Amino acid sequence: MDKSKVLSNDFIVCRTIYEFSEIKGEKVWYSKLTKVLDGEISPATISRSLDKLFDLGMIDGNWEKVDAHWTRTFKITGEAQGFIKSIYEITNSQDV
């Protein structure tokens, strides 16, 4: 059973941000999210999810130079870190 299929689009976006920023140690931004989630979530839905996650205080963004372009990168806020970490661990576990 693919446990990630039970997540809402908002949590899929949040989980993806967590995976890149905390697990892989990579920066993540909007166009990177749209490429990673291509075929799973539309760009418009990703944009709405980002707005909602910002409003809920679950993610934060910083403007920084990535490949010589100013880009808004995302990360999980400290308050949401434990919750999103548990979602990531549950959806990646091998238990059914």
The 10s digit of each residue's pLDDT in 36-53 is 999 999 999 999 999 999
Q: Which of 28, 41, 32 is nearest to 74 (CA)?
A: 28
* pLDDT above 50: residue 76: yes
Q: Return the half-sphere exposure (C-beta side, CA atoms, 13 A cut-off) of residue 95.
A: 3
pLDDT of residue 63: 96
How far is it, in rounded angstroms, from Cα 78 to Cα 66? 23
In this model, does residue 2 exceed pLDDT 90? no
Kindly report the CATH number that applies to the domain delimited by 3-92.
Answer: 1.10.10.10
Q: Where are the domains of the chain?
A: 3-92
pLDDT in tens, 4-45: 567 899 999 999 999 999 999 999 999 999 999 999 999 999
